[in-house]
Chains A and B, each alone.
Chain A
Amino acid sequence: MQATSRAFKENVHRALRDPDLQAALTKMRQGFVERRATAAARLPEFEALRDQGRAIKDHTLANLDFYLTRFEERVVAAGGRIHWASDAEAARTAILEICRKAGARTVTKGKSMIGEEIAINEHLALHGIEPVETDLGEYIIQLRDEPPSHLIAPAIHVTREQIAASFRKAHTGLDPDRPLREPRALLVEAREALRGRFLAADVGITGANFLIAETGSTVIVTNEGNGDLTQSLPRVHIVLASIEKLVPSLEDAATILRLLARSATGQEFSVYTTFSTGPRRPGDLDGPEEFHVVLLDNGRSRMLGGEFQDMLRCIRCGACLNHCPIYQSVGGHAYGWVYTGPMGAVLTPALIGIEEAGHLPNASTFCGRCESVCPMRIPLPKMMRHWREREFERHLQPARMQVALKLWAFLARRPALYRLAVRIGAAALGVAGRRAGAFGRLPLAGGWTRSRDLPAPEGGSFQSAWRAGRRL
């Protein structure tokens, strides 16, 4: 997708004035936060599991070359194929080629953020192959021609009425008198529309929550079961995953799975957890004839060994989004690209460049709530700060901000001069604001005073009063 992260401020402005979006965000916020807290509190070893999860991922990332090679060996041994893709273009090409060889006309898709990252739907459609999203949320946003606005709830910004309207427009055989008000009715309608698509698809593409090195298995978790139909009904199954999805063993995957659903939705486990190892074997009742894994790098190996490596522990649970006051205020689309919220603020600049995504790591108060709920203990605020350091070095921040900061630092580094400046400032502003106690408007402070008063100084700095001998 075309990134609009540069227009973050305009996106924010729009999002804050969108009543449907705001209603959806209010609802989301209450649900996710409470459910995660309950699920975490009910598991005594939850905090210990977070440490284990972090250790597993750190170990894997430190030995990623080894585990990738091992994973490839096991996939091949099970009868599958690996396609290494250094960037999005390589991944698209690999997938298109597999689809063409299979003579595919339609492709069903399980939910995949990597699919969004490489814009696979657009690419397939461009080449005459129809992609059909089968996750309900993804299906809805595909009909609306929108990107997802949340990692695990891609259509969280869409109202029921909007969904019904999309269905009525797309499902041409739909009886106009049939009510589509209740969630259940919408679900049934989507299911009916999708059933035929599942059966007709030549290729099924899924993502992966984990890749397991010891067995060559891929793992997906879903709540709708659509992933299973996507991967077991068509003749060809393509798993599209990025390289950091790897874990060494089944045991390791099991450990992190205990964190994933609890952090994401507050469930103990997702409804479906599906392991795939190679294509159908002789004697198997079902399963695809071909099993392909497209492994995407797309900038991730550059993050290894550097300031942003910890980001590669991310398991895409969405807890950081759900608890982020910025995300809660503006939703996902404002971020302007595939990944949103705190994880997006760190990952997006690494994938599409800090010039493009400079706003994202700046739009944070460093409140730290994301890190406090991250199951993999990713230091998200710290890494956002690292992005700001890169921007500072390259003078990418707004000029006014740079000048103001430099002036302030010049003073703060000279205590005597600083004390004098503060004394004068406190006295002058103190006199000016003494009666009212606050300023409704102040030159150069528009960012503050447009929506709030600026409390006036009491008058006189603490240091000058203290030196003058004032005591209580």
Chain B
Amino acid sequence: MAERIRVGLFVTCLVDLFRPSVGFASVKLLEAAGCAVEVPLAQTCCGQPAYNSGDREDARALARLTIDAFQPCAYLVAPSGSCAGMISRHYPALLKDDPVYGPKAEALAARAHELVEFLTRILSLQRVPSPARYEGRVTYHDSCSALRELGLDAEPRKLLDTVEGLKLVELPDREACCGFGGTFCVKYPEISTRMVEAKTAAIAATGANTLASADLGCLMNIAGRLRREGKKTQVRHIAEILAGVTDAPAIGAGRG
């Protein structure tokens, strides 16, 4: 048997804190696809909150920390288009003047991928790695980073389509941002609210009972708004659905 690809899971700070299920679902998918998964201990956050707030120093420190943590891994895989985009598209620019970490940033950028991107483009999967079942009409929200930064468009839909029982319905105006935007949603809550209202209206128009996406930030924003509107739409990370790991309550849904 060929040696298994060593993949380091970049958990992401939101998954670590809010939704460990996404991390475990990601591990399941990667292992089913033949990878040996490790979770480097010294990871925290990709540094995007600092980077996008103009705090280059802290962003660089976190980039260096991530680079070191994933040094031994053949690949870095993150269940987030936003974090994967930060590492693969922004680390090299952020550290370009650093003689030691500049080249390391380039090297990590080349082997850092969002989960679905890794499964479809690097491992060339055409379908979910192990049979999964999900009953319901699912609509998929493209996170801005996955869609525009990483160019993921058909890939998540293709995988979702191979989940048994799942009926995929397209979201109107799917290129529109949900209004999360990291610190944006608390800095400009009124605009953010208007944007997420438009998104929940689009979701309602699909008649889907489930919304999936590849970024927990978007999912929490949309789930939080759906709940406030009293809507029952289930909100789940795409990894949960692709892995068939749906025993935890949906995002924002209680156990009570």
Contacts and interface: CB of A to CB of B under 8 A. Distances in A.
Bind each other: yes
B65 interface: yes
A413 B221 contact: no
B249 A437 contact: yes
A364 B39 CA distance: 33
A450 interface: yes
A456 B249 CA distance: 11
A438 B54 contact: no
A419 B39 CA distance: 13
A377 interface: no
Given A369-B177, A458-B18, A466-B39, A450 B189 contact: yes
Contacts of A435: 254-256
Given A329-B195, A392-B55, A426-B17, A472 B62 contact: no
State which size class the interface on B falls in.
35 or more
A465 interface: yes
Given A325-B176, A455-B252, A466-B23, A405 B49 contact: yes
Interface stretch (B96-104, B115-123, B159-167, B222-230): B222-230
A458 B20 contact: yes
A87 interface: no
The secondary-structure label for the interface of chain B is: helix
A390 B56 CA distance: 10
A367 B249 contact: no
Interface in B180-203: 180-196
A412 B44 CA distance: 6
Contacts of A433: 254
A443 interface: no
Contacts of B248: 458
A273 interface: no
B51 interface: yes
B27 A438 contact: no
A368 B144 contact: yes
Nearest to B247: A472
B194 A16 contact: yes
A364 B181 contact: yes
Given A437-B253, A471-B27, A451 B177 contact: no
A40 interface: no
A392 B39 contact: no
B47 interface: yes
Interface in A113-158: none
Contacts of B189: 447-448, 450-451
A365 interface: yes
B128 to A, nearest CB: 15
A12 B24 contact: no
A262 B245 CA distance: 46
B191 A392 contact: no
B179 interface: yes
Contacts of B105: none
A102 to B, nearest CB: 47
Contacts of A330: 191
A230 B180 CA distance: 46
B16 interface: yes
B223 A455 contact: yes
The secondary-structure label for the interface of chain A is: helix
Nearest to A22: B194
A366 interface: yes
B20 A415 contact: no
A371 to B, nearest CB: 8
Contacts of A368: 144-145, 148-149
Contact of A388 (B11, B54, B58, B249): B54
A368 B193 CA distance: 19
Nearest to B199: A325
Given A365-B181, A438-B252, A463 B16 contact: yes
A455 to B, nearest CB: 4
Contacts of B113: none
Contacts of A406: 58
A445 B186 CA distance: 8
Contact of B11 (A365, A372, A405, A463): A463
B141 interface: no
A419 B228 CA distance: 31
B20 A460 contact: yes
A16 B254 contact: no
Given A330-B191, A367-B144, A453 B224 contact: yes
B190 A454 contact: no
A457 B18 contact: yes
Given A13-B190, A409-B55, A472-B28, 15 more contacts: A9-B188, A12-B190, A326-B191, A363-B184, A365-B144, A365-B181, A393-B54, A401-B183, A412-B45, A426-B18, A434-B254, A436-B254, A445-B186, A467-B41, A472-B243
11 contacts: A329-B191, A367-B177, A388-B53, A393-B54, A398-B187, A405-B50, A453-B224, A453-B227, A455-B223, A467-B41, A472-B25
Interface of A: 9, 12-13, 16, 325-326, 329-330, 362-369, 371-372, 385, 387-393, 397-398, 401, 405-406, 408-409, 411-413, 415, 418-419, 422, 425-426, 433-438, 440, 445, 447-448, 450-458, 460-463, 465-467, 470-472
